[in-house]
Chain A
Amino acid sequence: MAVGDPIPPDRVIYRALNKKRMNEALTAPNEIAFLLKTANGNYPDETHLSFGVSPAAAVAGLTNMRYICSIAVQDILRLDRHLLVTEDDDPQKVRVSGMPLITENEELSMAIAKDLLGIARMCP
């Protein structure tokens, strides 16, 4: 497998979340959990959401990420939003791309974020 190769639909991928990206009851992600970050400081605009191939891989290298949710790749593809689920250059990570930045298209970015929220499941 190489960077950019599609992840098989039967796989489940995991996203690490901090408290900011959880609902108030901390029982589910909120919609900003699935928005791309715009450029800030020395960081450029994000071009993809980062997921892990496992819960441990999702949080690897990250701090303050106490929550993890999972999404089945086939559920992402079924959203019919032309999202891509592909290999990262880190074999433990997965990229989900194809959504716009909120500064580029508020309606589409928010709708896709809500779609992803609807298919996400919290990990115990």
Chain B
Amino acid sequence: MSNLNFLAASGSTVSGLRGGSSYYREFVSSESQIETALETAELDEGETRPSDQIISELTRLVQVASRTISFPAKAEVSVFFGEAVVTWKSGPREVTILSRGNPDDPKVLRYESRPDAPRSASTIIPNATPALLRSSIKWLYS
């Protein structure tokens, strides 16, 4: 059970998590926020949620990667027809981890918008490891 689920089960309000309660921000880790967001994300009609295994693998990846590096405070979390999508942004750069349970998932996508160039730049790397995610978060700020 994630920290957030524990708080919810204990009857505590969780509304502050998304908005501004410093109390919850201090006690709920980013991977727990990501896990909860994936588990509770709104679905379209007929849409399937990413499996528990996919969610578990992604949150574990973030958990391990964030032991030795600070992640941006806020991740943008989405689900899309079985795909789990988590993005961190800094200026023109974005790092996204994606998984739909394929053998080479999760993947890390590095994206950079370049207003002066004909098009944006991106690269995707399969079989993401904590080390790869750490280096990608460093790239976000380099």
Contacts and interface: CB of A to CB of B under 8 A. Distances in A.
Interface of A: 18-20, 23-24, 30-32, 35, 37-38, 40-41, 43, 79-81, 102-103, 106-107, 110-111, 114-115, 118
A111 B43 CA distance: 22
Contact of B113 (A30, A35, A43, A114): A114
A23 B94 CA distance: 15
Given A23-B76, A30-B78, A107 B113 contact: no
Contacts of B109: 106-107, 110-111
B26 interface: no
A20 B74 CA distance: 17
Contacts of A103: 100
6 contacts: A24-B76, A30-B76, A30-B78, A31-B76, A102-B100, A106-B109
Given A20-B78, A31-B96, A102-B100, 7 more contacts: A18-B44, A30-B76, A35-B80, A37-B81, A80-B118, A102-B81, A110-B96
A110 B81 CA distance: 14
Contact of A24 (B18, B44, B118, B119): B18
A112 to B, nearest CB: 9
Interface in B85-115: 85, 87, 94, 96, 98, 100, 107, 109, 111, 113
B119 A107 contact: no
B120 interface: yes
A19 B42 contact: yes
Contact of A110 (B18, B48, B98): B98
Contacts of A38: 81-82
B15 to A, nearest CB: 13
Contacts, number: 73
Given A32-B80, A110-B98, A110-B109, A40 B120 contact: no
Interface size class of B (residues with CB under 8 A): 20 to 34
A106 B124 contact: yes
Contacts of B81: 37-38, 40, 102
A39 to B, nearest CB: 9
A111 B94 CA distance: 10
Nearest to B122: A111
B39 interface: no
A106 B109 CA distance: 9
B78 A115 contact: no
A81 B119 contact: yes
